[in-house]
Structure 1
Amino acid sequence: MKLSQFDFSLPKELIATRPVKPRSYSRLLYAENDHLSDLHFFDLPNKLIPGDLLVFNNTRVIPALIIGSIEVQAKAEKRLKEFEFLLTKRLSLDSWLCLCK
């Protein structure tokens, strides 16, 4: 598996910067068999049936994306190589787990 398989275009205007009010109006992507529906969280109780399993994810993305470039020698010319580091988890005072691209 390659990290590039997870690349996709996401326009900035579609990225939530704060929660919607009221929170029950948060959008919900509902999948049933091969069909997807755009719902709201207030619709969820009407979709649940006995035996359904709800899995809660309480992780958060920290706002720590480091973008940079480094000059590299490529054959007879120098060029800039761009890189990104997304800091995902602090391991110690000076160590982080990160995704690199």
Structure 2
Amino acid sequence: MKKITFYLMVMLMSLTIVPNQLFAAEKNPTAVSNPAKEVPAEVKVMLNRLDEIKAMDKSELSSVEKRELRKEVRTIKKELKSSGNGVYLSVGAIIIIILLLILLL
């Protein structure tokens, strides 16, 4: 009886885990996934600034200026992540939730 429940749990876990590589080419963090959903103006400004920084010729800049640009890019990326308004669950959290559901039901 214990083997059957173990095999059933292993089969269930193997069916619920999806490799991340399948979705690697589809996601683009700067692209808008839903065209009906409008991007706020502040986000557009930040994305435009990131594009400007990427297009710059950094070979002529001093080390202090390069450091300031790196700090600016980091802060812009942090602000973009915080404005995502999404709920993210880690793989470990999903496994714990599934195990709790199995034990309780």
Using structure 2 for the length normalisation, give the TM-score.
0.21
Give the number of the structure whose residues are more often strand, by fraction: 1
Bigger relative contact order, structure 1 or 2 (CA pairs below 8 A, ≥6 apart): 2
Query: Could you say which structure has the higher helix fraction?
Result: 2
What is the TM-score with the length of structure 1 in the denominator?
0.21
